[in-house]
Amino acid sequence: MQISLKIFLGVSVFILYSNCAVIRPGEAGVKQTLGKFSNKVATQGTIIYNPLTSKVIKESTQTNNIKLILSLPSKEGLSVNSEISILYRLQQDKIPSVLENLGQGYESIITSVFRSASSDVCAQFYAKDMHSGMRAKIEEEIKMKMEENLKKQADGIELIAVLMKSIQLPRGLANSIERKLQAEQDAMRMEFVIQQAKLEADRKIIDAQGERDAQKILAEGLTQEIIKIRSIEAFNELSKSQNSKIIITDGKTPFLINTDE
């Protein structure tokens, strides 16, 4: 009886001074005992711990998105408003290092690092570059600068991408760029019209040259002998007709032929 009581008391004490945390897919759990993080990272399943001395910190191992709306400086001193997305994820085996060095508020650290890196990088580009094909280069340089600065503080945060969206240029510059683009489109349209006109003119010239060459060939082949033969043939056909007819001739050919030309 005493043994059963001791077992019951032992189980009761164990239940009283123990707890468990459930780690779901896409999460990782790290046990913190008396302020010190364990090097063992648990993925999926349960972690048993003493709630009086320990706790389990759960962090996502999936890709996370930090959204910001910032005013970025440009090379000419203008401010460009942009919606920013910072895509990152925690490296599973380095979560204890991140928590120990940055704490659970590491997202604020990532944001601060982005503000510094974006200011340094964007100040090297003109405002119009952020609204053009240069944007991808700016995003990549900000990402590289962030990676460099984050590694100085903690290793374990993997930056996937820095995306600049909904870029709003200063109104005056935006109008200027719009007018420039419109002028470029008008110039391209006019160039197309001119090119079409040139092609049409070339086609007409080719047609005229073909007609001229055909007339020239025909004129070269139309000799006096051929004219006489054709006249005789026509006279023979005319003689077969039953209708009355009048034939005018110069005595050389059946038909009067104007030889002045």
Check: pTM over 0.75? Answer yes or no.
no
pLDDT digits (tens, 9 = 90+) for 71-110: 888 887 788 888 899 999 999 888 888 888 888 888 999 9
Q: What angle do CA 249, 252, 256 make, to 5 degrees?
A: 30
pLDDT in tens, 138-172: 999 999 999 998 888 878 899 999 998 877 776 66
Q: Reply yes or no on whether the pLDDT at 17 is more than 70.
A: no
Separation between Cα atoms, residue 128 and residue 80, nearest integer Å: 9
Residues 82 and 146 in one domain: yes
Residue 256: the pLDDT is: 43
Specify the pLDDT at position 110: 92
DSSP 192: H
The candidate with the shortest Cα–Cα distance to 142, out of 70, 61, 64, is 70
- CB of 157 closer than 8 Å to CB of 149: no
Range of the domain at 230: 222-261
Tens of pLDDT along 166-192? 777 766 654 565 566 566 666 777 887
**Whole-angstrom distance, CA of residue 33 vs CA of residue 145:** 35
Eight-class DSSP state of 94: G
Average pLDDT for 210-220: 72
Residues 136 and 148 in one domain: yes
How many distinct structural domains can be found in the chain? Answer: 3
Distance CA 65, CA 76 (A): 30
Same-domain check for residues 70 and 162: yes
pLDDT tens profile 50-68: 777 888 888 888 999 999 9
Residue with tokens 């570059």: 129
Residue 190: inside a domain: no
Residues 124 and 79 reside in one and the same domain? yes
